[in-house]
Structure 1
Amino acid sequence: MRSNVLKRAGVLATVAIAVTALGVPAAQAQGVRLSWQPTLLPLPAGASPLGHGFLTASDGHGEYTGSFIVDNKLQVVSWRGGKPVLRGVPEGYEWAMVQGEDSAGRVYGNSIDYDTSSNRSFVLDATGFHLRDNPAGYREFQVQAVNRRGDAVGSVFTDDPADNAVAVWPAGAAAPTLVPLPAGADGVTDIDDDGAILFNGFERDIVWKNGVSRPLADLPGFSNPHGSAIRNGVVVGFASNGNASQAVRWSTPEKATALSGGDYAIDLNVGGLTAGLTPPAAGSFRGKPIVWRSTSPGGELKQPGTYAAYQPFHVSDDGTFVGSASNGPLDEGGVPVIWRLAP
């Protein structure tokens, strides 16, 4: 009996190491149902006890970053070694929303000055905040996403919505490059590590690279395919049929596969580890978190403490799910949570 317990413990430990590293489906061959255990991260001094924030980004190496209400301002906070580091807001601004973090630990986001309604995007590195000038002819640039090397993609706005556009701000560049909206697109969602852009479309989303547009294919029985993230050419998101929605993975824009048990796929990491939600239960606004390894069911994210609402917003390349939890509406933010694999 004891030897069997030790043998099983060894198998689970091997599985945990393999999946945690890159989210690869090593456990599937063992038939082990994985459990992702939550850790509630401590808030910095001066933070709202309810959190009122969103943990949304990571550098892939153990740092997790988001935006939380501290001293009545929405400020950037990072967690290093499990401890909060208050990064603040750009000088003269009261609101800073994190949109992503690259593998070098640079944080990207958008800031607002309440007094002047000024909107500016920023990059935060070891030397502090660096506000970006809005492109000539546009009143603002809002970052939507960033890839691992630090290429940021976002929307640029004018006083006439018909002239709004999308821009890519390459890592280290002094100015962004404007990218025309592909036919059928009205905005931007994400950018891949190779520069491919996931555009939001009216009827379906579009993967664009080097001037070539590839619309997302329908899933049989569903239409209106929309992506939430792109990584290594793989898109995850959802499709709908008027009565329900279905979580979907596109290994290429032309090949759609249903993610079983899911209503919506949120994000994926470099190894294909994917976060999503189950269909909402009766009387609920959103479903419970669910995990896939590529297209295979990958376990569940356990409830953090007594918080009734909880959701991952990002999947780190270190195999950690990053999100928030609340006992109120989660769209108003919550406390920071990470989930790590545990046998």
Structure 2
Amino acid sequence: MGSLLSIRDLHVSFAASGGFLRQPRVVRAVDGISIEVEAGETLAIVGESGCGKTTLGRTIAMLQRPTSGTIEFGGVLLNHLQPKALRLARRSMQMIFQDPHASLNPRQRIEAIVGEPLLIAGVDVVARKKRVAELLDLVGLGADAAPRLPRAFSGGQRQRIGIARALAASPKLIICDEPLSALDVTIQAQIVNLLVSLQQQFGLTYVFISHDLAIVRQIASRVAVMYLGSVVELAEVEALFARPRHPYTMALLSAVPTLTTHGRPASEPLLVVGDPPSPLNIPSGCRFHPRCWLRKQLDNPSRCATEIPIPAPGDSHQVACHFAGTAALQQPRASLQPATVGQI
């Protein structure tokens, strides 16, 4: 399959108040991201809170306008589309939101919520009611849910309603913005199975934003690891879990508890010192260098602080690290077994 979504050198910046009599400052929420998403795949985007992954998802959907760079979807450049043309393009691109309670209008009946994309598309009342019933059956709720209000449903059921709404316009791409984080573990598994089934049935493409490595391992085709607005590693899901090459990715995976057969920790986690720097003041060179455990092991080479690491073009496993080969040798393997699961 060919590329459905092409993101090139994407930047999203916000002005932040500099205080009284001070110049406004700039928050670089997304900073130079380039990714191709193939039709039918699931690209997971992971990273710490505040790394810019939700902003990236909203910008792909053009709910947030990019500062610079391009977003091409289905061969159409979205950046400069007029509002009417953008609305038409968005029919093929939908979102599932994080909070199933806040994302549904509590005063609207389910048939109105799910049918809204059809109403906007000009579908008549009879056809709309029929399609809503089909969609509710498809997500496991049944047509009798249509006349009810959101308060009648649990969190997992509300997320199914959100999925039905996303499917209403028959999209090609669905951006899932942490759709499972507000649900308990058993419900998460059900929703993951539903998403996988729908993808197989309709050939959907997902951009799946998450902090849960267990879910990412289960659902993703490829994984992009974000740090401070930038992608630091991009690889096939099995390659990333079995052979991570960026020190940040290694630290995330090593922080996941794994036990030996005797119930003891398999290895000590790699320590990432301190909190991420502010996107108001991104470090020079490699943006991870102030917190990098590998740099400390290598006696703080100067190029980490002065040179921006560039992934090799055309490499299917892309990593933004000057010493990626060295990192692979330094990493204790016991904590990176394929069964590793957990949260960032």
TM-score, normalised with respect to structure 1: 0.29
Say which one has the larger Rg. 2
TM-score, normalised with respect to structure 2: 0.29
Structure showing the higher helix proportion among its residues: 2
